[in-house]
Amino acid sequence: MLYPQQNDTRNTLDLSGFWDFKLDPEEVGEGEGWHNGLDAPRTIAVPASWNEQFQDTRDYMDVVWYVREFYVPQGWAGQRISLRVGSANYAAKVWINGEFAGEHYGGHLPFALEVTDQVVWGRPNTVAIQVENKLTPTRVPPGNMGKGGMFSMMGSHPDANFDFFPYGGLHRPVVLYAVPQAHVEDVTVVTEIEGANGIVKVHVVQAGGDLPGIVTLTGQGGVVQAGLTFSGGSAQAVLTVSDARLWCPEDPYLYKLEVALTLGTQVIDRYTLDVGIRTIAVQGNRVVLNGKPVFLTGFGKHEDFPVHGRGLNMPLIVKDNALLKWIGANSYRTSHYPYSEEAMRMADREGILIVDETPAVGLSFADGEENIQARLAQCKQQVRELVARDKNHPSVIMWSLANEPLLAPLGAATMGTGRAEPSPAAAPFFGELFDLVRGLDPTRLVTVEAPMARGYVDWLSKVDVMCVHRYTGWYRLGGQLERALEHLESDLDGVYEMYGKPIAITEFGADTIAGMHSDPAEMYSEEYQVEYLRGYLDLAARKEYIAGLHVWNFADFKTGQSLVRVGMLNRKGVFTRDRRPKMAAHLLRERWTK
Ligand code: GCB
């Protein structure tokens, strides 16, 4: 799943802008032919969530239609044309000129449909996209789970099994793109280090032809080239870069890789890629980048901003990366779903280490085999699509297969009450996902974020880094920081004793209302957030098994309405939703930029 590219052999046409838009709560659109055009539409911006663009659509979770026209440029004649949707949340169906072109299930990951035979030339084309964002128990992530739902307990509205707002819409650009008949279909790059040399292994898939190719790597140390001979549509090359300049947070150096398919001296297709030469591993208690220990500092984040909702917001990506640098963070997790490809490219450029998470948040194992299997099928699809999309980003160091799966019954898992036996269904479920991801990508680390179980869980020893979430001092022992930290220490020592793996505390935080102060510190005040975070940082500094700290959250973010989310916000951000620092941001900066 290559990112569409514009160069001398390929073209892209970004269909971002104003689209016609209409709600279809009765789901009559397909029967009434709305794919040919909308009667009395309103105007909506793409990319963006629909929820905050109008007053009456905030909680709308059903079917909508997006329609617009486009011309195919004359210069594209003879090329293969596809329509690519960066992210349609949740399910999408696409029509071109009234003819069904394809569909996709699952938000956050791109899909492309070849439409060469459906487009017309010399007059406008119509593209219609039906998007639907229902919250159902069999989706990943799930919603409307009834009594087993984590947030339904608090009467959260909309009834999602996670706290971030379930935005809907065309969240990332819709792009029309053209490639030559014989073209580079896929490229996979794996890097290794041998002494001072970088080894760049390139695997290329060609479609629509059988041309020879050439792969060129340019950067510090000069130009390295190798020929590509295809057999059965695929070819490999191994390039050695002497005295390689390695990619790392302090020096995120990117080499330029070009793959070209050639006919004599003519280049028929070319595709270029940024390549960071780096390795990632776990050694003992440490995460090791290029053979050197790296301590993860950073955050869990969200794609979230007023009005845009979850829509691609390029200035915000730039701003957030600048704030990450300012505060001394070297990493973040794409909680709780894959972020935009633009965000991943920015991380490559800025040297930010990414824990790349699938959309599997709020998984339950208590609602029967049929539902569990339905979710497993989607988790597998999401792992495949995520690895296919992000496999070449040097920034991506770890795959996160899920966030807080409820391995044990809810009460037992979260509060330590009742029977806490882990659900037997979770072991084969995650067993399959581990096998799948390790087969697709043996080069990166893998984790499951904070499985909610008490006591030892056998299959968890498959993770490379134990990522734990702790709200001791907030949801537990709130307001009693001293006791909370004592408790936390013995709790973490216990986890380390059980698994013997490096531990990263990948969520810890306290809701904080910007501008609220108290002395002595009390919950919700800026002082309390500072003391809480300082306590965790000090503890982590004493524990050599702790390999990283991700504060929850980088910024305040939109949630559903519930008793625990004042003003529809999770306020655990160290920045406000509009990116103003709270006192805690200065504390982290002081600690992390030293
Ligand atoms: C968690 C979840 C995260 C929530 C957070 C909270 O454990 O992983 O999605 O936002 O707690 O603030 O309650």
* C-alpha span between 299 and 331 (Å, rounded): 7
Q: Quick one: which of 357, 222, 193 has its CA closest to 290?
A: 193
- Assigned architecture for domain 183-275: Sandwich (2.60)
CA of 245 to the centre of ligand 1 (A): 38
User: 169 by DSSP, 3-state: which?
Assistant: strand
Tell me if 304 CB under 6 Å of ligand 1: no
Instruction: Give the model's pLDDT for residue 346.
Output: 98
CA of 13 to the centre of ligand 1 (A): 38
Ligand 1: atom nearest CA of 335 is 9
Q: Which of 150, 151, 163 is the pocket-test mutation for ligand 1 (most atoms within 8 Å of CB)?
A: 163
Tell me if 356 CB under 6 Å of ligand 1: no
CATH fold of 11-179, please?
Answer: Jelly Rolls (2.60.120)
Tell me if 556 CB under 6 Å of ligand 1: no
Tell me if 507 CB under 6 Å of ligand 1: yes
Residue 487: its H or E element: helix 481-499
CA of 509 to the centre of ligand 1 (A): 9
Residue 461 CB neighbours (<10 A): 12
Ligand 1: atom nearest CA of 403 is 8
- Is residue 507 part of the annotated active site? The answer reads yes
Instruction: Give the model's pLDDT for residue 495.
Output: 95
CA of 404 to the centre of ligand 1 (A): 9
Instruction: Give the model's pLDDT for residue 453.
Output: 78
> Within its chain, how far is the Cα of 61 from the centroid?
22
Per DSSP bridges, beta strands 234-241 and 222-228 are: unpaired
Ligand 1: atom nearest CA of 475 is 13
**Helices 583-592 and 314-327, axial angle in degrees (round to 10):** 60
Tell me if 404 CB under 6 Å of ligand 1: yes
Does 11-179 match 183-275 in CATH topology? no
Q: Which of 507, 511, 512, 564 is the pocket-test mutation for ligand 1 (most atoms within 8 Å of CB)?
A: 507
- Is residue 404 part of the annotated active site? The answer reads yes
CA of 300 to the centre of ligand 1 (A): 10
Tell me if 570 CB under 6 Å of ligand 1: yes
Q: How many helices (H) and strands (E) does the chain have?
A: 8, 32
**Helices 369-390 and 426-440, axial angle in degrees (round to 10):** 20
Tell me if 572 CB under 6 Å of ligand 1: yes
Ligand 1: atom nearest CA of 336 is 9
Tell me if 469 CB under 6 Å of ligand 1: yes
CA nearest ligand 1 atom 10, residue: 163
The Cβ-side half-sphere exposure at 337, using a 13 Å CA radius, reads: 25
CA nearest ligand 1 atom 3, residue: 163
Residue 438 CB neighbours (<10 A): 14
Ligand 1: atom nearest CA of 557 is 10
Catalytic residue (choose from 303, 357, 385, 404): 404
Instruction: Give the model's pLDDT for residue 544.
Output: 96
Tell me if 403 CB under 6 Å of ligand 1: yes
Ligand 1: atom nearest CA of 404 is 8
Catalytic residue (choose from 132, 350, 507, 531): 507
CA of 520 to the centre of ligand 1 (A): 26
Domain parsing of the chain, residue ranges: 11-179, 183-275
CA of 507 to the centre of ligand 1 (A): 8
H helix intervals, 351-425? 369-390, 410-415
Q: Which of 570, 572, 574, 577 is the pocket-test mutation for ligand 1 (most atoms within 8 Å of CB)?
A: 570
Per-residue pLDDT tens digits of the chain, which is 594 residues long:
899 999 999 999 999 999 999 999 999 999 999 999 999 999 999 999 999 999 999 999 999 999 999 999 999 999 999 999 999 999 999 999 999 999 999 999 999 999 999 999 999 999 999 999 999 999 999 999 987 677 666 678 999 999 999 999 999 999 999 999 999 999 999 999 999 999 999 999 999 999 999 999 999 989 999 999 999 999 999 999 999 999 999 999 999 999 999 999 999 999 999 999 999 999 999 999 999 999 999 999 999 999 999 999 999 999 999 999 999 999 999 999 999 999 999 999 999 999 999 999 999 998 999 999 999 999 999 999 999 999 999 999 999 999 999 887 766 666 666 666 778 899 999 999 999 999 999 999 999 999 887 788 899 999 999 999 999 999 999 999 999 999 999 999 999 999 999 999 999 999 999 999 999 999 999 999 999 999 999 999 999 999 999 999 999 999 999 999 999 999 999 999 999 999 999 999 999 998
CA of 163 to the centre of ligand 1 (A): 7
* C-alpha span between 559 and 155 (Å, rounded): 13
CA of 173 to the centre of ligand 1 (A): 28
H helix intervals, 397-525? 410-415, 426-440, 481-499
The letter for the amino acid at 177 is Y
User: 202 by DSSP, 3-state: which?
Assistant: strand
* C-alpha span between 135 and 59 (Å, rounded): 11
The letter for the amino acid at 273 is L
Ligand 1: atom nearest CA of 511 is 12
* C-alpha span between 397 and 356 (Å, rounded): 8
Q: Which two tokens stand for residue 28?
A: 């009559």
* C-alpha span between 249 and 210 (Å, rounded): 40
208 burial class (0-12, 13-18, 19+ CB within 10 angstroms)? middle
Instruction: Give the model's pLDDT for residue 417.
Output: 62
